[in-house]
Amino acid sequence: MKKTLVSASLLILCSQTALATEVDAEAYIKYRENLMTSAKIHSGGIGDILKGKLPLQANLQAHARALHESISLFASAFPEGSDFGETAAKANVWSDAAGFAAAADKSTAAAAALVKASETGDLQAIGAAMADVGKSCKGCHDEYRAKK
């Protein structure tokens, strides 16, 4: 009886572990998509304000900080062993992990510079810093993201 109970418990535990792995695969992909969407939304808000479409210059700092926070999480969203599922990430995100981490660090640094520029209120400096963020994002996408 004990042997059957132990065997049944192990079977349940193993099946739950397999199910958790499936859920994690989808969760990682969704998490990465959400981070990228967050970055896109805050970049768009900054762009619309800088282009004069919205008179919301007081919101630039909040957008810059939120963009920096999102970008700073990118590298952690692609851990070793998360190269699964349907994703736009190229295989070299994992095979060239050091290069990907360096590209993510460059984007994080550019976003940190944007935060500093946003604290000045100087729209020209903010625009230049935002252009640097865009260049760093494009560089990472060109190297580590498949074309849609």
* 52-103 per-position pLDDT tens digit: 999 999 999 999 999 999 999 999 999 988 888 889 999 999 999 999 999 9
Question: Of 66, 71, 47, 68, which Cα lies nearest the Cα of 123?
Answer: 47
Question: How close are the terminal C-alpha atoms of the chain, in Å?
Answer: 56
CATH number at residue 31: 1.20.120.10
DSSP helix/strand/coil, 89: strand
Asked whether the beta carbons of 137 and 39 are under 8 A apart, the reply is yes
Q: Residue 89 pairs with which residues in a beta bridge?
A: 145
Number of domains in the chain: 1
Its pTM surpasses 0.75? yes
Domain ranges, residue 33: 2-144
